Amino acid sequence: MIFLRRFSSYVTTKWLASNISSQNLKIGACALPGNAESALIPHHIPGACEMNPSDFAISTSHARNMLPPAKDFEDYVSSRGISNSSEVILYANVPHLSYSLARLWWCFNVFGHKNVRILYGGLPQWIKDGYPVKNEPSAIGPAEFKAKFDVTLLKSFSDIFENISSSRSLVLDVRNHEVFQNAHIPKSKHFNLADVFNEEGNLLSKEKLQAALKEYMDKPLVASCQRGNLACILLLAAKEAGISDASLYDGSFEDYSSRVKSSNHKNVRILRGGLPQWKNDGYPLEEKISAIQPGQFKANLDESLVKSFDQIVENITSGRFHLMDVRKPEKFQNGHIPNAKNLGLANVLDDDGHLLSKEKLRPLFKEYTEKPLVATCLRGNSACVLYLAAKEAGISNISIYDGSFEEYDSRANS
């Protein structure tokens, strides 16, 4: 079919009508953003169940409507009768491509289900072409879906913050141009989303999409908007244009601006050699304790530096980040978190017990730079040494599993 060769993420009403009786085919009706009415009302395509990204989205202290843990998504789509072998077709009650449809398409992809497409023209085109509709909800039996997280489709605040200095990726912001000019992520560029749409509000042909995105193909592309919804349309357009290295900054500008405004105290350093070195270098000491005047400090937790038990459990299946255990090899072999790797602290310290030079530290982390790092130990203390070593080696995307193996072992066996 000519249409399907042009749009790999779309199907026509004719194709859907011809395959609607397939047992593996599952149809999801997606409501318009902000519409409280069910997508199944007043009528729907036979066999469709309602599916909306807002149903399983979570909110953090920095942004709303964020991607949920894998288990939440698994439970949600399983309850809709979808398994890993299902062919999923999504549609809306409008003929144009809505960001909720694109977001739902991206959520399936990021959780490892690539066999998902969108009905071109939605329900209006289905009705226009003379195909039947139902008024009553269809009976949907549960299935079992297991997520396999695709880390290449998602960027975090740490990734974006590191990119400001490295410029490894190109961040494209699809918000209104006036909004973009008012405030945006440093080094991001504005992209007019209208450039990927035809007059009907659907994506242009592959050739026209390639022309619209031609100047943005020399680096990996990161799509951004206000929260991470509208940007999914750009990801869909990029895929249709043949761009494979494209990801989403989930939370987008809302997440970024909230974290940047937080007064996390980064202006803190360590005296190399401590008090002995101070004395050895001949600097003065005081015998009396100095009088300290109280100050005022307001803490704002930087969540990008801490991992929770739930995130560690999710990572066992998703492999989203490298988990590095700094305990001694014999302790590690006796028991460790699944998928963790052992990197003893002796590897990052010199004979005096100080960190190696930056030049010697970098080779130790070379093979772990393609994913974020999470340091762990027994209780979350020794792992901080690895965190400091990674920072000195120039790795910005590293965090600590506070509680580490002691917490994991206790909760996993509960």
Residue whose entry in the numeric block shows the structure tokens 């973009």:
180
What is the rounded CA–CA span in Å between residue 353 and residue 345?
Answer: 10
Please report the DSSP string for 351-370 in residue order.
Answer: TTSSBPPHHHHHHHHGGGTT
What is the rounded CA–CA span in Å between residue 414 and residue 37?
Answer: 41
Catalytic residue chosen out of the listed positions 107, 225, 377, 384: 377
Residue whose entry in the numeric block shows the structure tokens 């357009």:
237
377 is catalytic: yes
CA dist list (Å): 148 to 51, 154, 159: 20, 13, 21
Phi and psi at 248, nearest 5°, equal -115, 135
Instruction: Give the other-Cβ count within 10 Å of 242's Cβ.
Output: 12
Residue whose entry in the numeric block shows the structure tokens 């226009």:
128
Q: For residue 216, give the nearest of 250, 191, 179 by alpha carbon.
A: 191
| Bridge partners (DSSP) listed for residue 58 | 66
Q: For residue 369, give the nearest of 340, 396, 337, 346 by alpha carbon.
A: 396
Q: For residue 316, give the nearest of 300, 336, 344 by alpha carbon.
A: 336
DSSP letter (8 states) at residue 262: S
User: Please, are residues 403 and 309 in contact by the beta-carbon 8 Å criterion?
Assistant: yes
What is the rounded CA–CA span in Å between residue 6 and residue 240?
Answer: 8
Q: 342 burial class (0-12, 13-18, 19+ CB within 10 angstroms)?
A: middle
Please report the DSSP string for 51-74 in residue order.
Answer: --GGGT-B--SS-SSBPPPHHHHH
Active-site residue numbers?
377
